[in-house]
Amino acid sequence: MNLFDQFGQKMIHLPLEDAEITYYPSFIPADEAINYFEQLFRDTPWQQDDIRVFGKVYAQPRLTALYGEEGKSYSYSGFQMNPLTFTPLLLELKEKIEAVSHVNFTTVLLNLYRNGMDSNGWHSDDEKELGRNPIIASLSFGVTRRFHLRHRNDKSKKFSIDLEHGSLLIMKGETQHNWHHQLPKSRRIQDPRINLTFRIVKS
């Protein structure tokens, strides 16, 4: 269902049971989004870390960086990241998202998908540091990538959506308990995408 929030932003509530997901297709205007992408691509100290999956260690198929409040470290897949201090640009984006989400985020995880061979497999953002019903605000810049969701208990329930340049996807409530999500590989995609996932780390 398409609606508009109090700021006139177009918002779409995804028709998924056991989930609360809202999509803003044009959250950041295209010209501004290009500037944000270029600055983030150029100025972020991207790194490729190893993660542990089913007991084996792999290099992540993407580059990452973590920013946040002091002491708000974040762990996933057997790997712990310690945050860098928020930059003015990230604080600016955080403020924009907080205006529509009505929460105060402590941390942002940045992912750089260099091309379609970079990916993120099936998972839920349900780490203990995020609390019982975490809210995740996912902001996208760059090439459009297809985002897949699959119910954790009934894998026949699936949904996918294109995350466009300048778009915002907010997941909250029991979404992370009931749904997995992924960003699969795509050989046809040659261009990069930057994804910022704002979250509240409680540790």
Residue spans of the domains in the chain: they are: 37-153+161-173+193-203
192-203: average pLDDT: 93
3-state secondary structure of 155: coil
Q: How many CB atoms lie within 10 A of CB 191?
A: 12
Token pair recorded at residue 139: 């902001």
Please check whether residue 67 is in contact with residue 83, taking contact to mean a CB–CB distance below 8 angstroms.
Answer: yes
Best CATH choice for the domain 37-153+161-173+193-203 from the list 2.60.40.2220, 3.30.1330.10, 2.60.120.590, 2.60.120.260: 2.60.120.590
- 163/160 Cα distance (integer angstroms): 9
- Could you report the per-residue pLDDT of 102-139, keeping only the tens digit for each? 999 999 999 999 999 999 988 888 787 888 899 999 99
Q: What is the mean pLDDT of residues 33-62?
A: 90
Q: Percentage of the chain with pLDDT > 70? A: 95
- Read off φ and ψ for residue 188, nearest 5 degrees: -80, -15
The mean pLDDT of 41-70, rounded to a whole number, is: 89
**Residue 7: what pLDDT?**
57
pLDDT at 119: 95
Instruction: Identify the residue with better confidence: 203 or 24.
Output: 24
Helix boundaries (H) for 57-87: none
Helix or strand run (H / E) with residue 181: strand 179-183
- Please state the φ and ψ torsions of residue 70, each to the nearest 5 degrees: -60, 135
